[in-house]
Chain A
Amino acid sequence: MTTILELSGVQKAFGAVVVADDQSWTLKQGEALGVLGPNGAGKTSMFNLVTGTLPLDSGTIRLDGQDITGWSAARRCRAGIARSFQVPQPFGGMTIYENAYVAATQGAGLSGAEAERTCLTVLKQTGLMKKANVMAGGLPLLDRKRLELARAMCAKPRVLLLDEIAGGLTESECHSLIETIKGLRETGISIVWIEHVVHALLAVVDRLIVIDFGKKIAEGDPRTIMDSREVKEIFLGIEADA
């Protein structure tokens, strides 16, 4: 399998707080990579660095072998990196459908009719069709989270970054989310997924990395990682979720 995304020696600090400490990892074409780590470990910051909303102090990020470290967030999206935000960032004055349409036309660069088809398909897949004409600004949190996923999917990414989209879902909703993401994988999309709902994560991912204090402290097969002493120590408090 070829490598689609590669971070090497990525460093970022806000004063004394190091959010990314010499981070290096790769994502293979078609792979699903899970990211674990306690709150404040630097998981979301790592997504900000990859998507280009936060500039690096040093290190390089490569997409398909091409150095994209200096690229703007917009250019990275058009090149095939899309994300969902942990704290939802809807276009509040637009409907759910229009939010999706932004991603399909601007992110994926689709033409009108094609964008329309993509949006309608994705809204059906993510269970948002019934609320397609509702203004995104007035949505409850769960629908906002669904919209985050839908919008990222409409951008037709090659690399999809998901930031805690399972939290707060009911058992059956969580199940359908897992099915949606599995379905996405079959289309060849590579996924990086930050999630505290460990059982959802384990149902999908091929590999796990664990981050603490901005540093990658473990990496490997999900079962091995979950059983390792180091990870158990960090996750003692949230292991009950699993």
Chain B
Amino acid sequence: MLIINAQNIGYTWPKSDTPALDIAGFQIEHGRALFLRGASGSGKSTLLGLLAGTLIVQSGSLQILDTELASLSPRNRDRFRANHIGIVFQKFNLIPFLTVEGNLRLAARFSEKPPRKIREKSEHLLAALNLDSAILQRRADRLSVGQQQRVAIARALINDPELLLADEPTSALDTDTRDTFMSLLMSIRDVSNCTMIFASHDRSLAKYFDIEIELSKLNRAQAEEASLV
């Protein structure tokens, strides 16, 4: 089963003459963990925006879970994101003034999955991420960055998404916490059985993944630009 199936997708930012992204084909099967390597400016955040449904392809076809994102109404695209996609950012992943529990509940309220077992699910996720469940009552901005990033994984997985997008989630961490973070992330992904796209410029992280893709080779728009230079 294909989680992502992209054909000839293109995107040009408003007020820009050159396309930011032009990809001939891009498919990912269910259950894979993909390392998407690319420096900033390689079209990485454009691709992640398209996958998350906050950007819409201007040409070609992008299907996630056999759903053509561009054909969904804005409202349904937001709902689709809540139901099927979890996102972990580089930093500032949590609403600072809410507790950890508040952040997890907030993520759960936009999905159509029944909220009954959020508490149980939260504790389960936190335990798998080596976090004490007492942390639920703490405000997000009182946590260390490492803790925040781990809570961000729990937040991203609270709705049992099929697709997990991670955008440089380790760049704010030091080496030790990064390794812990990576091994926790990989093991919780194995358990939750979701497909993951992990975008980073850091080659040393590639060892954790089954597949590695160099974005600049995939992205024809950037390849042209690169060859010009």
The answer to whether A binds B is no
Residues of B bordering A, CB below 8 Å: none
A interface with B by C-beta (< 8 Å): none
